Amino acid sequence: MNTSSQFVALLPDADPQALAETLVAFANSDGGTIVLGFDERGRPVTRLAPEEIESALRAAVGLCQPPVRATLEPGDGGDNSAEGPALVVRVPRATEMHSLRDGRVLVRTAGRNRALAGDEIRHLVTSKSSGDFEAEPVPGASPDDFDPDIVDEYIAKRALRTRRASELPDRLTLLRDIGALDYRGQPTVAGLLLFGRNPQAFLPQSGLVFVKFPGVEARGEGGAFGYGRREEINGPLARVIERAWQVTLEEMRIGAVVKGLEREEVLEYPEFAVREALVNAVCHRDYRLRGRRIEIRKFADRLEIISPGGLAGYITLDNIVEEHFSRNPRIVQGLFQWGYIEELGLGIDRMIEEMTAAGHPMPRFNATPYSFTVVLSNHRERRASQPASSSLHVTPNVAVTERQARALHYVREHGRITNRDYQTICPDVSPETLRSDLSDLVEKGILMRIGEKKGTYYILKQTG
């Protein structure tokens, strides 16, 4: 049994209140699975009979407003094995917002249930009220509009990723299970975007445009109107991602660094950061918005990836690193199983890590009600040692302690700091106090936390 995560919750007993909180959190997020009778490390605590689990679920659903739709399915211990649960609770993502009777609205964040504040609740309500567009059937489309080679490729990649080829259902059942076909067998928006021969015939806004400008403005040579290269990219989403990456790679300059006696080629931008920004744009754009496609704009000093549609759900520019919410969960899951997404919910973290590790400024994120833009700068700096400032005021009107100033000096010198690094430079201070120091710097907007648990580290939130 694995530990609790973004999509799995382990609860030690059949407490209806704790179960209700997790039902609401999963329903308001991207759904998940609840396993009763196990602690957070996956160790069995108590063996619950199916009747106990059913009773607890009925009571928990009654504590949710409106009631959360959930199903009971056989678990690993359905054959009376003592190793796994007899039943597990499956919670799908809801198309409406759910709350508890006491008014709390919870979401699932980094393996925990978190209560939303006022503005976050309003954003979630707006997102939920817009409907589940990717699950809607496409008028005029039929299963014949699917490309069988694309479907076969997806199935093969999914079997390779999950290592459960023998457990996959037949093709028609699989397409229904993943939401590519509705209950009547008609292609959905998600299905056509993932597997269509020509999705743009039905959804013309689903393509992508790449434009290269020679300077730092959206103009041609000498400031005249125009551009250096323009490519329109269409097809199913997998092919859009592949072709867009290929075109962008062709236009990225290649430099070099010398390590020891060897010369090593370096791309203008870190490969993962560009691919992640591209995949995110494809996954999370608002496909309801017609008349505008995803745009990649390459300038002399930066790369801009523009995705139609504002931030989804309760995501804001302030919490975009820590939180996870998918506008199009079926498309996200499809591309994840296909192998285009390495790990759900961790891409922004690594995008920032790859950029800063290569000496670039952090990515800039710009959000409007109708678009979201990632800006990658090709400026690269060498990190040079800087003398520790004698002043304890590192930004206007924000005071830090002398110990925190030492931590900030370490970050400027090395690009990041971990709890272990901080303990090394402050060996006489308790680990709990040092963790509190770093958390305080995050709350003050000086540092940004990246990663979880043992993989956590901190970088400067502002550069320059």
What's the pLDDT tens digit per position in 182-228? 989 999 999 999 999 999 999 999 999 999 999 999 887 776 777 88
Q: Please indicate whether residue 113 or residue 401 has the higher confidence score (pLDDT).
A: 113
* Local structure of 271: helix, strand or coil: helix
d(CA 235, CA 250): 20
Nearest Cα neighbor of 415 from 450, 380, 458, 448 is 458
Q: Which residues, at least 6 apart from 441, have a Cβ–Cβ distance to it below 8 Å?
A: 400, 404, 407, 408, 447, 458
Does the domain made of 393-460 have the CATH classification 1.10.10.10?
yes
Higher pLDDT, 335 or 226: 335
Model confidence pLDDT, tens digit, residues 372-394? 999 999 998 754 334 333 334 45
The token pair at 2 is 């694995």
Q: How confident is the model at residue 166 (pLDDT cuts 50, 70, 90)?
A: low
pLDDT reported for residue 144: 96
Q: Is the pLDDT at 341 greater than 90, yes or no?
A: no
For residue 410, name the pLDDT band (cuts at 50, 70, 90). confident
Out of 3.30.360.10, 2.60.120.10, 3.40.50.200, 3.30.565.60, the CATH code matching 130-382 is: 3.30.565.60
CATH 3.30.565.60 residue ranges of the chain are 130-382
CATH, domain range 8-115: 3.30.950.30
Q: What percentage of the chain reaches a pLDDT higher than 70?
A: 88
> Which part of the chain is CATH 3.30.950.30?
8-115
Q: Which of 60-64, 231-235, 257-261 has the lowest mean pLDDT?
A: 257-261
Quick one: average pLDDT of 439-443? 87
CA 252-258-261 angle, to 5 degrees, is 140
How many Å apart are CA 218 and CA 224, to the nearest integer? 9
The predicted pLDDT at position 385 comes to 39
- Looking only at the bridges linking them, the beta strands covering 112-115 and 262-267 are unpaired
Provide mean pLDDT across the span 149-162.
90
Q: Please name which of 426, 413, 427 lies closest in space to residue 459, comparing C-alpha atoms.
A: 413
In this structure, the strands spanning 229-233 and 208-212 are antiparallel
Per the model's pLDDT, the better-predicted residue between 243 and 312 turns out to be: 243
CA 112 to chain centre: 16
Domain boundaries for CATH 1.10.10.10 within the chain: 393-460
Task: Pull the structure tokens for residue 320.
Answer: 């975009």
pLDDT for 50-96, tens place per residue?
Answer: 999 999 999 999 999 999 999 999 876 544 445 677 789 999 988 88
